């Protein structure tokens, strides 16, 4: 029975050492995962949101995106941007508390959707109820955009109206809300189905589908519901015939259709995992007779695209895998018989620049494009687009001029907010591996000394208290007592481990108080 007792004590002490080492390893790995907050988040220790406030325009890790007005003079290859943003988080102050607005799409009614179709419908009553009454002669312009709802901390799709050609906007409300994140609300009127369609990014649903929402003339700009779910034909890597990411279906973002040469050309971007040898973004192209009908993969997808990390230096499926151009950045458009596609440069960071791509070759079998123009942030530290620019929707008016919406951010990332609010927690965690190892060394040293002295005086261990003596491995028993008489089993070992941990924490805290220079801690 003495051997069993000895084994139990040694096992308990071994568990304590193992837990200490595992804790140190976790804190070493922590800063490498989910940067910049790390694996262990401060939000785990409070019910209150720490990554943002609940007031309008509170800070957000994704930045402080705003929407500005742009004019093409004379065309989108020569853009002039407004000096100030025309839609910001403050625009939504009386409706929804958001931290930013982004991914704007402009919808201007044409002959198939005359102003009276809006003003005489139930939608006009909704506009009036929202305080957006307008002269009957005005043509309403609508803006759809992503808005980060601070109460849900999810992206929703908002809508605003303008009666002065985009100079000022009034937020009308939430157009679409789902249990998952939404963005990129490209809206158009589909004559084939006689309804308005919205192609929104819904990767938060984690089902590998592209959702198409629809609404009627009577309900526009509200009343959106899913009218189609598309799963693009996508062979992915030949080894799997699927494009899976950590066991989940493929993710398709920023789907952008455009009518060109009597058919629909549909661009979408597949998101990959670079650590698995996949490109971060891969541009795919499909064609269709109708948007709600079948999407046919364009043969250009099969030719693949250059990508150095892939086998043979090419990916097997897709038309572009360059992080500078593979992700869509707005609504494609045609000008003078040439197709153009907006792309966002994400080579170094998200929103590095906005790129306009020109289709040099586009037919039933081939597709090729090149950079037509590149728009950079101002880098002046003050403008609404000082550090990031990544989305545009430009449209041609009846007089031949071009107008549209562009989003930008004055910060290079949301880290500016993070550094202000949570950097102290990350700095604290960076010191914990040293602290854990220090307490382990102290406790092991103390145990070794206690074991050494107890071998000379069997009563010494009992003087230190039952939990410790029950945990320490020893080959002897106190004179006049039996080893087999000790009780407690696993519970006794657990109590001993808890006692050791508590003592270690107390000792470590004491060391920090008495010798703060030994274990630096952010103040």
Residue extents of the structural domains in the chain:
2-47+432-514, 66-421
Predicted pLDDT of residue 464: 45
Predicted pLDDT of residue 260: 97
pTM (predicted TM-score): 0.74
Copy the structure tokens of residue 246. 């950590």
Predicted pLDDT of residue 519: 52
Burial label for 517, CB within 10 Å (0-12, 13-18, 19+), is exposed
Task: Evaluate whether the domain defined by 66-421 bears CATH number 2.115.10.
Answer: yes
Helix (H) or strand (E) holding 200: strand 195-201
Q: Where are the beta strands (DSSP E) in 383-507?
A: 388-396, 402-409
Query: pLDDT tens, position by position, for the chain (523 residues)?
Result: 455 554 556 677 778 788 888 888 888 888 887 777 788 877 777 655 555 555 667 777 788 899 999 999 899 999 999 999 999 999 987 778 888 999 999 999 886 655 444 554 444 545 555 555 544 446 899 999 999 998 888 999 999 999 999 999 999 999 999 999 999 999 999 999 999 999 999 999 989 999 999 999 999 999 999 999 999 998 875 544 455 445 667 899 999 999 999 999 999 999 988 877 889 999 999 999 999 999 999 999 999 999 988 878 888 899 999 999 999 999 999 999 999 999 999 999 899 999 999 999 999 999 999 999 999 999 998 899 999 999 999 999 999 999 999 999 998 876 666 666 777 888 888 888 888 888 888 878 877 776 666 665 555 445 444 444 554 555 445 444 454 444 455 556 556 666 666 666 666 666 666 666 555 444 3
Predicted pLDDT of residue 188: 97
Burial 212-240 (b: 16+ CB within 10 A, else e): bbbbebebbbbbbeebbebebebebbeee
Copy the structure tokens of residue 452. 């050494």
Rounded CA separation 245/243 (Å): 7
Q: Which residues contact 389 (CB under 8 A, 6 or more apart)?
A: 351, 353, 354, 375, 376, 377, 406, 407, 408, 409
């Amino acid at each position: 029975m003495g051997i069993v007792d000895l084994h139990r004590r040694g096992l308990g002490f071994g568990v304590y050492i193992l837990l200490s080492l595992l804790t140190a390893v976790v804190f070493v790995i922590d800063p490498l995962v989910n940067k910049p907050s790390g694996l262990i988040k401060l939000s785990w220790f409070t019910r209150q949101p720490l990554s943002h406030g609940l007031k309008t325009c509170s800070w957000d890790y994704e930045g402080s995106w705003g929407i500005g007005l742009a004019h093409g003079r004379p065309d989108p290859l020569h853009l002039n941007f407004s000096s100030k943003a025309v839609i910001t988080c403050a625009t939504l102050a009386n409706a929804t508390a958001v931290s930013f607005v982004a991914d704007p799409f402009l919808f201007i009614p044409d002959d198939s959707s005359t102003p009276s179709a809006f003003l005489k419908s139930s939608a006009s009553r909704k506009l009036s109820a929202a305080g957006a009454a307008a002269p009957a002669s005005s043509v309403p312009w609508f803006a759809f955009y992503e808005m980060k709802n601070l109460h849900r901390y999810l992206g929703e799709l908002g809508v605003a109206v303008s009666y002065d050609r985009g100079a000022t906007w009034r937020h009308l409300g939430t157009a679409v809300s789902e249990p998952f994140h939404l963005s990129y609300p490209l809206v158009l009127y589909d004559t084939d189905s006689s309804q308005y369609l919205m192609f929104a990014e819904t990767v938060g649903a984690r089902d590998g589908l592209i959702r198409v929402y629809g609404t009627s003339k009577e309900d526009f700009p509200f009343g959106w519901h899913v009218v189609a779910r598309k799963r693009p034909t996508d062979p992915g890597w030949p080894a799997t015939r699927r494009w899976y990411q950590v066991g989940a279906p493929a993710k398709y973002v920023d789907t952008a259709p455009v009518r060109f040469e009597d058919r629909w050309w549909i661009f979408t971007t597949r998101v990959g995992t670079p650590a698995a040898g996949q490109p971060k973004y891969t541009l795919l192209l499909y064609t269709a007779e109708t948007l709600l009908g079948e999407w046919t993969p364009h043969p250009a997808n099969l030719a693949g695209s250059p990508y150095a990390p892939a086998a043979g230096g090419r990916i097997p499926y897709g038309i572009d895998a360059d992080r500078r151009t593979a992700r869509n950045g707005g609504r494609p458009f045609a000008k003078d018989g040439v197709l153009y596609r907006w792309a966002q440069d994400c080579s170094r960071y998200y929103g590095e620049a906005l790129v306009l791509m020109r289709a040099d070759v586009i037919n039933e079998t081939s597709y090729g494009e090149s950079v037509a123009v590149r728009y950079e942030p101002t880098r002046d530290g003050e403008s609404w687009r000082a550090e990031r620019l990544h989305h545009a929707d430009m449209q041609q008016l009846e007089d031949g001029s071009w107008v549209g919406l562009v989003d930008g951010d004055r910060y290079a990332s949301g880290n500016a907010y993070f550094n202000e609010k949570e950097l102290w927690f990350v700095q604290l965690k960076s010191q914990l591996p040293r602290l854990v190892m220090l307490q382990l060394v102290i406790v092991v040293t103390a145990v070794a000394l206690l074991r050494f002295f107890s071998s000379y005086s069997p009563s010494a261990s009992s003087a230190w208290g039952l939990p410790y003596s029950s945990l320490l491995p020893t080959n002897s028993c106190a004179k006049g007592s039996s080893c087999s008489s000790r009780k407690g089993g696993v519970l006794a070992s657990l109590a001993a481990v808890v006692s050791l941990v508590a003592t270690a924490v107390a000792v470590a805290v004491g060391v920090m108080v008495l010798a703060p220079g030994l274990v630096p801690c952010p103040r």
